[in-house]
Structure 1
Amino acid sequence: MQPFEAQPKGDEQLLAALLNGMEAGLCAFDREGVITHWNAEATRILGWTAEEAVGRRGFGGWAARAADARATQERLLSAMDTPGRQVHEFALLTKDGRRVLVRTQSAAVAGADGRPAGVYCAFSDVHAQIDLERSIALSESLFAGASWGVVLIDADLRPALANEQAARLLHCGRQALLGRPLGELLDHGVEELENALQHVLAEGVSPAGIEVWVSLRGDATDARYCWRSGFVLLGSPLGEEPVPLGVGWLFADVTAQKKLERQSTRIRFRYQQLHRADRAAAECESALEAAVLQLDFALAGFADHALVDLLDGAGRLVRIAASPEGEPRPGLPEVGPAIPVGYEPGHPVLQAVERLGTVRTSCGAAGGAAGDAAGGLEIPRSRADAWAAARRWPPGTVHGLTTVLRSRGRTVGALTFLRGSGRPLFDRADAAYAEDVAARVAMAVDLAGLAGDR
């Protein structure tokens, strides 16, 4: 075992290593203001070596201007008579004559008798300190009041820190987020998000901002949200080589904006279809052919089937045109004798004719009325087929929209659009578009009656 005599020497070596390894300059003064310690960082900041500094009284004549030296020493030594740490800023001189503004923290050093035996002073370049404080302030402001959600993701792709906005967007408390896999928080879109995070960790290069459509785990409404996301690789500044600490994920909810963009795109496409249909219908040889052509253009991206029923002389509805079932192909007028369609009382087509308006309906909606009851539910195929058969619609239909056909101030029939389970409910914008199509179809079939084409 090592003798006790060697311990003090080992302690001194350890203390010297710790002092020289500090990231702040450090010097110590005895009660008379004589420098007793000077570490390597102090040498780096001011250029004066420990051999040149230790043993000097104060900074006068070498590390501070004569006009500043006395005030600087008095403020430093005053820490012996003041409890706690004192923070000051001084202008010191480097060995090559430059002035450096330093921020110091000084405190008394107690002797063996408990009385102040001197002062230690830790200091750093003010500009470096300000950069650090700005970085800390930026981090705190991002987590305190940023309008974007900010989440720090660790190397295991688990949230390590989150701000209030992120917690609101994820519908979860800040503490409840921490340490949970993203798959427990998100359902749809989680794979795309994890791939982006893994790319940042592996490549060290942040991808351009991406837009991810996500749904939240356990959300009964199954709502989809579009989050515009950016990523920043976090590396430790303390290692010799940057060590990835995780990824900063910044995101904002742009769902409303994306829905407006989609709606605008949809409206532009639909009315381009109407314009193209009008030009093509003008080249048709018969008005009935033009009516069917209008349906072919209207169905694109809008519905799966279309039906046209006209009122005969006895006020009964007869089928004159329908889009074919199965593979998409141009619709054809119905051929053969005009047999009335056997709609049951209360059928949406009869309601539209009676109300002179538009009726929306869906499988699962109460009473067959339009509503959101079937908007996000998985409807059994057998139930949907039975519902469609009762309304004399093709199998697989789950959403219907019927609007009246009017021309020259009178009702001439009804136009019905149908959607399968892979499409959403008809909404008000769909109803407005269907009414525009109906106006063109009504005019064409009325002209066909006048011309004797039907």
Structure 2
Amino acid sequence: MTASSASSASSASSSQQPASAGPPGSANEPGQAAAGPPRAAADTEPDRPPDADDSGLLAALLDGMDAALMAFAADGTVTHWNHEAERILGWTAEEAVGRRGLTGWAVRAEDADGVRAALDTAMRAPGRQVHDFALLAKDGHRVLVRTQSSAVRAPDGRVAGAYCAFGESHTQLDLERAVALSEALFEDATWGVVLIDADLRPAVVNAHAARTFGMSRTALLGRPLGDVLAQGVEELEGALQHVLSEGPPPAISELWVTPRDGESELPRRCWRSGFIRLASPLAEEPVPLGVAWLFQDITDAKRTEQDGSLLRFRAHQLHRAGRAAAECPDPAEAAAVHLDFALAGFADHALVDLAGTPAPAPYGAVDADAEWDADPAPTGDGPGAGSAAAAGGPGAADRAPRLVRALASPAGVPGPSEAVPVTGIPVAYVPGHPALQAYARRGSVRASAGQAPAEGWAAIRNWPDGTVHGLCVVLRSRGRTVGVATFLRTPARRPFDRADADYAEEVAARIAAALDLAGAAGA
């Protein structure tokens, strides 16, 4: 009979056993028939120690620990040795368990006294004891470890042994440094640090970040970023989502944001920001926990840098304008060149109006004994003086200027400024117009439509549609007011400030000199 035939016969014989043989899985020995009703499962299980399941569970827990662990009986015999201890030292559990002490195999003889004393101290002293000592790996090299040892006591209180959890010292030091760094960042750092969860809401905020937001640390937790930032939220959330999905950007970014204080908005701030994706070290595959956002307020430095860059650009424009104007045979054309160079990056539109007062003398050096006088000093003090004269007060007919359009940049389309045909008809400026005020004050006047421009705000001032910011600067040459230059901005630009007025006054001085040279002021 072949082996396969014998196997088939055996299988058939087994399948033909009577039902009284008991249910499958019973504890009957092979060939032993069971009589009577089936016994309970508990009766069929073999005898085993009552703590067998607990011992298996304990062994599984010890082997699954991230820390290396060894345990000793009261006489020093090794009773437990988990997988992490095997990884660090190379000794397997079969090689370690049952040995008495560590001397000679896991500890060098020179180090044995110190290790033995540390374990004895752990058995006698309450609580955990932390020690640093050197163990001996199976391949013969020494491993510096940091241990936490504690006594194991029986129910009656006597010492039954000790356990010793340990790890490589450099790993422990790295962990301690990481914890210390984390605590320092959230307590003493001069950078703002905010941990953003996967829902893009602050989970942890350090003290510096809370001060920057103007809120308490707890008030920021769990709130949408749109509740604390009025502007710049889209850029910030976009950066956070990119970090969560793709990882941190290769370079530090600079975000302009406007913090929110209740219903009001605070001034814009520039925050130099870095982002780090956080992943759980316990997961087999990286699981994003959120993003660490580190930022520093660099608004003052950024504005200083921008101001310096703007000054360099404007100085370069003035230099280029001077070189280009010097090549113009017609002084009026040179004035237009100065106006065109001034518009670049400064304004969207420009106008030049000339006063109808004749020039005191031909262009050139003025004789000190000549019988002519410069413009009279402005009457009154403060802004109201010029406005009152222009509005038609006593003697206004003698002082009100007749401003005639001389130059204008194309409205709506880019192009060079062009001379306006001479008609002699004054521009119909309403009383109190910024150009009239600038003429009366011999200075610069700024005007702005505000956050919500009124309908017809530009039209009533004879300015192109879409204008929301204006700057009128007086043109002065040889002690006389030649006219007024007006620079205009659309909503895409910010309002004019004092630095803009200074630049416009420098440009106006060059335009006035060119127009005076052309004799256009006497037209």
TM-score of Structure 1 vs Structure 2, range by shorter chain: 0.7 to 0.9
Q: TM-score, normalised by structure 2?
A: 0.76
| Structure 1 residues 329 and 151: alpha-carbon distance in aligned structure 2, compared to 1, 3 A threshold | same
Which residue of 1 is the match for residue 346 of structure 2?
302
Tell which deviates more after alignment, 215-224 or 33-42: 215-224
Tell which deviates more after alignment, 120-129 or 321-330: 321-330
Which residue of 2 is the match for residue 72 of structure 1?
115
Which residue of 1 is the match for residue 286 of structure 2?
242
| Structure 1 residues 219 and 300: alpha-carbon distance in aligned structure 2, compared to 1, 3 A threshold | farther
Tell which deviates more after alignment, 114-123 or 313-322: 313-322
How far apart in 2 are the matches of 1:209 and 1:178?
Answer: 25
Tell which deviates more after alignment, 425-434 or 162-171: 162-171
Which residue of 1 is the match for residue 85 of structure 2?
42
Of 465, 468, 481, the residue aligned with 1:398 is 468
Which residue of 2 is the match for residue 55 of structure 1?
98
- Count of residue pairs the alignment pairs up: 437
Of 269, 276, 283, the residue aligned with 2:313 is 269
How far apart in 2 are the matches of 1:435 and 1:204?
Answer: 50
| Structure 1 residues 412 and 71: alpha-carbon distance in aligned structure 2, compared to 1, 3 A threshold | closer
Which residue of 2 is the match for residue 361 of structure 1?
447
RMSD between superposed Cα atoms in Å: 2.8
How far apart in 2 are the matches of 1:66 and 1:281?
Answer: 94
| Cα deviation 1:295-326 (Å, max 9, x = unaligned) | 22222222233232333237633213242434
Q: Say yes or no: does 1:233 pair with 2:277.
A: yes
Tell which deviates more after alignment, 15-24 or 316-325: 316-325
Matched position secondary structure for 1:63: coil
| Structure 1 residues 419 and 241: alpha-carbon distance in aligned structure 2, compared to 1, 3 A threshold | closer
How far apart in 2 are the matches of 1:418 and 1:205?
Answer: 43
- Structure 1 residue runs without a partner (length 5+): 364-373
Which residue of 2 is the match for residue 255 of structure 1?
299
How far apart in 1 are the matches of 2:417 and 2:111?
Answer: 96
Which residue of 1 is the match for residue 5 of structure 2?
none
| Cα deviation 1:235-263 (Å, max 9, x = unaligned) | 22222222222222222223333333333
Which residue of 1 is the match for residue 334 of structure 2?
290
| Structure 1 residues 361 and 451: alpha-carbon distance in aligned structure 2, compared to 1, 3 A threshold | closer
* Contact kept? 1:149, 1:250, Cα under 8 Å: yes
* Contact kept? 1:305, 1:322, Cα under 8 Å: no
* Contact kept? 1:157, 1:194, Cα under 8 Å: yes
Tell which deviates more after alignment, 239-248 or 14-23: 239-248
How far apart in 2 are the matches of 1:186 and 1:407?
Answer: 50
| Cα deviation 1:185-228 (Å, max 9, x = unaligned) | 33433333333333332234644322222233456236333222
- How far apart are residue 65 of structure 1 and its match? 2.5
| Structure 1 residues 245 and 150: alpha-carbon distance in aligned structure 2, compared to 1, 3 A threshold | same
How far apart in 2 are the matches of 1:239 and 1:398?
Answer: 58
How far apart in 2 are the matches of 1:55 and 1:82?
Answer: 25
Matched position secondary structure for 2:468: strand
* Contact kept? 2:331, 2:517, Cα under 8 Å: yes
- How far apart are residue 336 of structure 1 and its match? 4.2
| Structure 1 residues 333 and 205: alpha-carbon distance in aligned structure 2, compared to 1, 3 A threshold | closer
* Contact kept? 1:200, 1:207, Cα under 8 Å: no
Q: Say yes or no: does 1:220 pair with 2:220.
A: no
Matched position secondary structure for 1:216: strand
| Structure 1 residues 32 and 183: alpha-carbon distance in aligned structure 2, compared to 1, 3 A threshold | same
| Cα deviation 1:20-39 (Å, max 9, x = unaligned) | 11122222223333322222
Q: Say yes or no: does 1:416 pair with 2:460.
A: no
Q: TM-score, normalised by structure 1?
A: 0.86
| Structure 1 residues 215 and 111: alpha-carbon distance in aligned structure 2, compared to 1, 3 A threshold | same
* Contact kept? 1:196, 1:207, Cα under 8 Å: no
How far apart in 2 are the matches of 1:251 and 1:2?
Answer: 66
- How far apart are residue 433 of structure 1 and its match? 0.8
| Structure 1 residues 329 and 167: alpha-carbon distance in aligned structure 2, compared to 1, 3 A threshold | same
Amino acid at match of 2:353: D
| Structure 1 residues 64 and 360: alpha-carbon distance in aligned structure 2, compared to 1, 3 A threshold | same
Of 111, 119, 128, the residue aligned with 1:85 is 128
Amino acid at match of 1:294: H
- How far apart are residue 391 of structure 1 and its match? 4.0
How far apart in 2 are the matches of 1:47 and 1:330?
Answer: 84
Which residue of 1 is the match for residue 411 of structure 2?
325
| Structure 1 residues 71 and 445: alpha-carbon distance in aligned structure 2, compared to 1, 3 A threshold | closer
* Contact kept? 1:158, 1:179, Cα under 8 Å: yes
Of 23, 39, 54, the residue aligned with 1:11 is 54
How far apart in 1 are the matches of 2:110 and 2:493?
Answer: 83
| Structure 1 residues 89 and 308: alpha-carbon distance in aligned structure 2, compared to 1, 3 A threshold | same
- How far apart are residue 134 of structure 1 and its match? 1.6
- Structure 2 residue runs without a partner (length 5+): 1-40, 358-397
Which residue of 2 is the match for residue 445 of structure 1?
515
- How far apart are residue 130 of structure 1 and its match? 1.1
Fraction of identical pairs, as percent: 61
Of 117, 132, 138, the residue aligned with 1:95 is 138
Matched position secondary structure for 2:494: coil
Which residue of 2 is the match for residue 121 of structure 1?
164
| Cα deviation 1:266-310 (Å, max 9, x = unaligned) | 333333332332233334343223223322222222223323233
Tell which deviates more after alignment, 18-27 or 237-246: 237-246
Matched position secondary structure for 1:215: strand
Larger Rg: 2
| Structure 1 residues 10 and 338: alpha-carbon distance in aligned structure 2, compared to 1, 3 A threshold | same
Q: Say yes or no: does 1:351 pair with 2:437.
A: yes
How far apart in 1 are the matches of 2:407 and 2:300?
Answer: 37
| Structure 1 residues 67 and 240: alpha-carbon distance in aligned structure 2, compared to 1, 3 A threshold | same
* Contact kept? 2:353, 2:406, Cα under 8 Å: yes
Matched position secondary structure for 2:421: coil
- How far apart are residue 10 of structure 1 and its match? 0.8
Which residue of 1 is the match for residue 233 of structure 2?
190
